Amino acid sequence: MRALAFAWRYLWSRPLGTTLNIVLLSLGLSSMAFLLLVAHQLNQAFERDLAGIDAVVGAKGSPMQLILSGVFHIDVPPGNVRLKAVRDLERNPLIAQVIPLSLGDNLQGFRIVGTTAAYATHYGASLAQGRMWDAPMQVVVGAQAAKKLGLSVGSSFSGSHGLGAGGHAHGDQRYTVVGILAPGGNVLDRLLLTDLASVWQVHEPPAAPAAHDHGDEAEGADHDHAAEHEAAESQSDSDAAREVTMALVQYKTPLAAMSFPRWVNTTTDMQAASPAVEISRLLKMLGLGTDVLRAFAGVLLLTAALSVFIALLSAVRERRGDLALLRMLGAPPARIAGLLLLEAAWLGLLAAVAGLALGQCFAYALAWGLQLDNSLLIGGTVWPGVLWVVPGLALLVSVGAALLPAWGAYRVSVLELLQSR
Amino acid sequence: MIRSTGLQFQYPQGPLLHFPDVEVKQGSVLLLSGPSGCGKSTWLALAAALVAPGAGELVVAGQALHALNGAVADAWRARTLGFLPQRLHLSEALTVFQNLAMAQWASGRPQDRVAIQTALEALGVSDLAHRRPAQLSGGQAQRVALARAVLMQPQVLLADEPTASLDDEAAADAVQLLLQTAARQHATLVIATHDARVARLIPPDAQGQPGFETLRLVRPAMAGGVA
């Protein structure tokens, strides 16, 4: 304990050099911490939003675009597909669930997603207020979107065309908020969910809803059957023409991954993309960038190690006499060397704390920036196990740099003390 | 007590050093004198068990030193020896108090605040306990270093050139202080010096004899001189 205190005082007997070394070390360490944190949070965000979606089926085009737009809602979708083709997928014996999604409108940058109740259920979403929709033009709003847009149950608004903010407004068709979702920490938080039919209603000429109205107008018991029939027919008629943007697919069996995408890609005019494949492709592309950052952090750490090495070496040279005196007073060489190693360990510890704090700040800043864009949800102070690498690295670098100076301290000759004239 | 017989030492490629025999009773004073290069430092190193004699015997405080090495020598030194270096080597990173605490730590003993306070009081510097060495005058610093040297109540106190670069008055004070401090602890005091004033500053004993033993060293003959 006393050795810790002495090492601490020796460390701060050179405040400028010590501060410089801590700054250098913590810069390198914070870059490392930042990389680890972002990688961890990205993985978590991907995993949360993926939530067991095995494939996304949509219009032909870039599979990554399909995944990014359909699962994470951070890109535009490649195009639309026919609703009937998506419905057909449900009959495939390999498929457990198909969730159709219809994109096209937004409210101040927050996407309005036409879908079925299964979408919210799939993410285990629960309502904080209100209820789920039971008719077109009713909207259930994600927690973050509701907060940012200031929506509450009963609010009404009209969406704008397109997926980013702006675009012309569909002034004549107003949505009504019927529910607000509890925060789920996933993609639903920044979406506005509504019935598939809402999107058709907003975008189609009023003719189609009129056919439906006609069915509703039919009155009397005699006409009931006919009316139902008519309604069903008009429904299937319009279904044939109707489109959705994509469908999220869950397999019944992992074996489906072998055949289903190929089947879709070859026998239909749609494509099936696997999120797992596309995300690992994306991370590989990002990997190049993080490798550069990691190398940069490595260079910083190496520089810091050199600086610590030089500082401790000169400290030993300066204190040769003092150290020799300690030997003269009976301190074994190991105690003298240990004192220096402790000093280095203090340095590493302080730098680790500073580096981790700085790294968390960087990660927080990035999360804040992304959240401004309504992009991927990352953030919050997290401590993934892998982050222990940072203090480990700090001690390794600082104590490693101290080894040679400590050896010098170990070998300090007391004779020099007697002979210094 | 210190007793040496036929003590010899040779550095690699250095001349062979012969040291005259000496016998000093516990509690008395040995003046180790001679010009620079005569082997004073080497004799001190031998007496501190830092190097082993090439030949002969050296007994310090009842311990035959050729039997000591490594950790055992370190522990013996911590127990037995006090040392006042010429350059005082008070650590600037620490206060006066902490410098003494560090000496306790170096010797492997638990911290004893009372002992530190007592040692500082005995040398009249207890009110400087929380100053840094840089804030001390030369005389104060020497007192602090002496307090550190006798903190562990050593049986032998080695002082290396305690009067170098001091004026006459300060030199007299320094020698008196050393004698008093050693006497209080009943420690054998060894003063290594080439300063002729020191011998005159040590008062004679009750019988009128010099109050110290002398070990006068001479520069060794160049290699190949004495066979």
On whether any CB of chain A is under 8 Å from the CB of B91, the answer is yes
Q: How far is B77 from chain A (nearest CA, A)?
A: 5
Q: What is the DSSP string of B111-139?
A: P-HHHHHHHHHHTT-GGGTTS-GGGS-HH
What was the pLDDT predicted at A372?
63
Task: Give residues with Cβ within 8 angstroms of B141, minimum separation 6.
Answer: B88, B90, B133
Give the whole-angstrom CA distance, residue A242 versus residue A85: 10
Chain A: residue whose CA lies nearest to B78: A330
Continuous H helices in chain B: 40-47, 70-80, 96-106, 113-122, 138-150, 168-185, 197-201
Q: In this predicted structure, what is the pLDDT of residue B179?
A: 92
Q: DSSP characters for A50-111?
A: HTT--EEEEESS-HHHHHIIIII--S--S--EEHHHHHHHHTSTTEEEEEEEEEEEEETTEE
Minimum distance, in Å, between the CA of residue B159 and any CA atom of chain A: 10
C-alpha A110/C-alpha B171 separation (Å) is 88
pLDDT at residue A358 in the model: 93
Can you give the length of chain A in residues? Answer: 421
CB contact under 8 A, B85 and A417: yes
A321: chain B residues, CB-CB within 8 Å: 85, 87, 89
What value does the mean pLDDT take over residues A207-233?
Answer: 44
Q: Do B85 and A321 touch (CB under 8 A)?
A: yes
pLDDT in tens, A332-364: 999 999 999 999 999 999 999 999 999 989 888
**pLDDT > 80? residue A172:** no
CB distance A417–B98 less than 8 Å? no
- Judged against a pLDDT cut of 70, whether residue A173 lies above it is answered with yes
Of B78, B79, B111, the CB nearest to A2: B111
**pLDDT, position B54:** 87
CA angle B39, B26, B209 (to 5 degrees): 80
Q: What is the mean pLDDT of residues A33-39?
A: 86
Q: Say whether B85 and A415 touch across the interface (CB within 8 A).
A: no
Contact by Cβ (8 Å): A273, A67:
yes
Residue in A closest to B160 by C-alpha? A418
Please answer yes or no on whether A415 and B45 come within 8 Å at the CB atom: yes
Looking at the DSSP bridge assignments, the partners of residue B4 are B22, B58
Question: Distance from A185 to chain B by nearest Cα, in Å?
Answer: 52
Q: What is the mean pLDDT of residues A389-414?
A: 90
Token digits of residue B8? 């010899």
B114–chain A Cβ distance below 8 A for any pair:
no
Cβ-defined contact of A325 to B71 (cutoff 8 Å): no
B78 interfaces chain A, CB cutoff of 8 Å = yes
Mean pLDDT of A73-102: 88
Torsion of CA A417, B2, B3, B8, to 10 degrees: 0
Task: For residues B167 and B108, give the distance between their C-alpha atoms in angstroms, rounded to a whole number.
Answer: 37
Which residue do the tokens 């969406």 mark?
A159
Higher-confidence residue of A209 and A120: namely A120
Check A12 against B93: CB less than 8 A apart. yes
Q: State how far the Cα of A338 lies from the Cα of A327, in Å rounded to an integer.
A: 13
CA dihedral A415, B222, B16, B216 (to 10 degrees): -70
B85 and chain A: CB distance < 8 Å anywhere? yes
Give the nearest chain A residue to B39 (CA atoms): A419
Whether A213 shows a pLDDT value over 50: the answer reads: no
pLDDT at A227 over 80: no
Best mutation target among B40, B60, B89 (most A Cβ atoms within 10 Å) is B89
A-chain residues within 8 Å CB-CB of B45?
A: 414-415, 418
Interchain contact B134–A (C-beta under 8 A): no
Give the confidence band of A240 by pLDDT, cuts at 50, 70, 90.
low
Closest CA to A42 of A257, A272, A297, A289: A289
Please choose, from the candidates B135, B143, B133, the residue with its C-alpha nearest in 3D space to the C-alpha of residue B166: B143
pLDDT tens, chain B, 227 aa long: 899 888 888 888 888 888 889 888 888 899 998 887 788 888 988 998 888 888 888 999 888 888 787 888 899 999 999 999 988 899 999 999 999 999 999 998 899 999 999 999 989 999 999 999 999 998 899 999 999 999 999 999 999 989 988 889 889 989 999 999 999 889 999 999 888 888 888 888 777 777 788 888 887 665 443 43
pLDDT for the residue A50 = 82
pLDDT of residue A374: 57
- Name the pTM for this structure: 0.76
Whole-number Å distance between alpha carbons of A112 and A190: 10
B83, A328 Cβ separation under 8 angstroms:
yes
- Chain A residues inside the 8 Å CB shell of B51: 415
Bridge partners (DSSP) listed for residue A261? none
A10-19, A120-129, A168-177, A240-249: range with lowest mean pLDDT: A168-177
Cβ pairs A/B, distance under 8 A:
84
Tell me what the pLDDT averaged over chain A comes to. 84
Residue B122 CA to residue B124 CA, distance in Å, equals 6
Res A237 pLDDT > 60: no
pLDDT at A37: 86
**Nearest chain A Cα to B154, which residue?**
A329
Q: What is the pLDDT of residue A231?
A: 46
How far is Cα A380 from Cα A44, in angstroms, rounded to an integer? 12
Mutate to test the interface with A, among B40, B72, B91 (most CBs of A within 10 A): B91
Q: Which of B44, B74, B98 sits opposite A331 (nearest CB)?
A: B74
Whether residue B160 and residue A418 make contact (CB cut-off 8 A), yes or no, is yes
B44 touching chain A per CB within 8 A: yes
Are B106 and A331 inside 8 Å of each other by CB? Answer: yes
CA dist A168 and B201 (Å) reads 106
Q: What is the pLDDT of residue A58?
A: 92
Q: How far apart are CA B44 and CA B32, in angstroms?
A: 9
Closest chain B CA to residue A415: B45
Residues of chain A with C-beta less than 8 angstroms from the C-beta of B98:
6, 9
Mutation target for B interface from A319, A323, A417: give the one with most B CBs within 10 A: A417
Q: How many CB atoms lie within 10 A of CB B131?
A: 16
Note the pLDDT tens digit of each residue in A244-289.
999 999 999 888 888 899 999 998 889 999 988 888 888 888 777 7
Q: Report how far residue A372's alpha carbon sits from residue A387's, in angstroms, rounded to the nearest whole number.
A: 26
What does the pLDDT read at residue A5?
Answer: 92
Cβ of A10: how many Cβ atoms within 10 Å? 23
Task: Decide if B83 and A325 are in contact by the 8 Å CB cutoff.
Answer: yes
More confident residue, A290 or B57: B57
- In angstroms, rounded to a whole number, what is the distance separating the alpha carbons of residues A361 and B197? 68
Instruction: Using DSSP, state whether A204 is helix, strand or coil.
Output: coil
| Residues A418, B44: C-beta atoms closer than 8 Å | yes
CA distance linking residue A176 with residue A151, whole number of Å: 10
Report pLDDT for B209.
74
Using a CB-CB cut-off of 8 Å, the residues of chain A touching B36 are 421
Mean pLDDT along residues A370-388: 69
Cβ distance A332 to B74 less than 8 Å, yes or no, reads: yes
Q: Which residues of B touch A418 (CB under 8 A)?
A: 41, 44-45, 85, 160
Mean pLDDT of A38-42: 82
Q: Please, which pLDDT band fits residue A224 given cuts at 50, 70 and 90? A: very low
Contact residues on chain B for A1, CB-CB shorter than 8 A: none
Q: Is B106 on the interface with A (CB under 8 A)?
A: yes
Spatial CA neighbour of A247 closest among A52, A73, A76, A98: A98
A85 has a pLDDT exceeding 50? yes
Cα(A257)–Cα(A280) distance, integer angstroms: 16
- Selected residue of A4, A10, A18, A329 to mutate for chain B interface (largest B Cβ count, 10 A): A329
> Measured in whole angstroms, how far is the alpha carbon of residue A146 from the centre of its chain?
20
Q: Do B98 and A9 touch (CB under 8 A)?
A: yes
Alpha carbon of A147: minimum distance to chain B alpha carbons (Å): 56
